[in-house]
Amino acid sequence: MSTVVGIIMGSQSDWPTMREAAEILDALGISYEARIVSAHRTPDRLWSYGREAAGRGLKVIVAGAGGAAHLPGMMASKTRLPVIGVPVQTRALSGVDSLYSIVQMPRGFPVATMAIGAAGAANGGLMAASILALGDAALAERLEAWRADLSNSIPEVPEDV
Ligand SMILES: Nc1c(C(=O)O)ncn1[C@@H]1O[C@H](COP(=O)(O)O)[C@@H](O)[C@H]1O
């Protein structure tokens, strides 16, 4: 099975957050790769990753970064693949810096921006799954089942009431 999702992140320190996206993709049987690609520290790697992504068969990129989080936007500039941005939570500014760096893209080069932190990364995985499910009936069924399981796990009556 060829790899269809690229999970990329600015630093090793983003992996505890971005792992949440990987876990969703694992649960849904979607193949992915995880790579450290930084617009600031490894610009040549970003350039070649973006240039080759579609040709290698990737279909969606989930990009997480913190602080001056230029990675998702720069990747969106370099590839026509959908780029889902995950603002990693930061200590100094709680991830608002990451969010603002990712979300306000200029017209023409969108990044589908998720919420700050781990929930955003998990939703990034789910958003990638939704996109892929448009052309994959078996995955669509797995995604429906995953969503139903989550709904069914929510009790109607709060505990200790
Ligand atoms: N925002 C970016 C980019 C980028 O956008 O290209 N490259 C690294 N970083 C971020 O720097 C933070 C601190 O990185 P270190 O923990 O390595 O110092 C990380 O959250 C990373 O995403």
Query: What separation in Å is there between the alpha carbon of 152 and the centre of ligand 1?
Result: 37
Nearest atom within ligand 1 for CA of residue 9: 22
Handedness of CA 70, 75, 76, 81 (dihedral sign): negative
- Integer Cα distance of 142 and 148 in angstroms: 10
User: How far is it, in rounded angstroms, from Cα 114 to Cα 88?
Assistant: 10
pLDDT of residue 120: 98
The whole-angstrom separation of Cα 132 and Cα 139 is 8
Model pTM above 0.90: yes
- Those residues of the chain that have pLDDT short of 70 are 1
Interatomic CA distance for residues 59 and 55, integer angstroms: 10
pLDDT of residue 1: 63
Start-end of H helices in the chain: 15-27, 43-52, 71-78, 96-103, 118-133, 137-152
Q: Would you state the pLDDT for residue 161? A: 85
Q: Which atom of ligand 1 is nearest to the CA of 67?
A: 1
Does 19 show up as a binding residue in the annotation? no
Cα of 8 to ligand 1 centre, how many Å?
11
Please, what are the domains in the chain?
5-140 (3.40.50.1970)
Which ipTM did the prediction report? 0.99
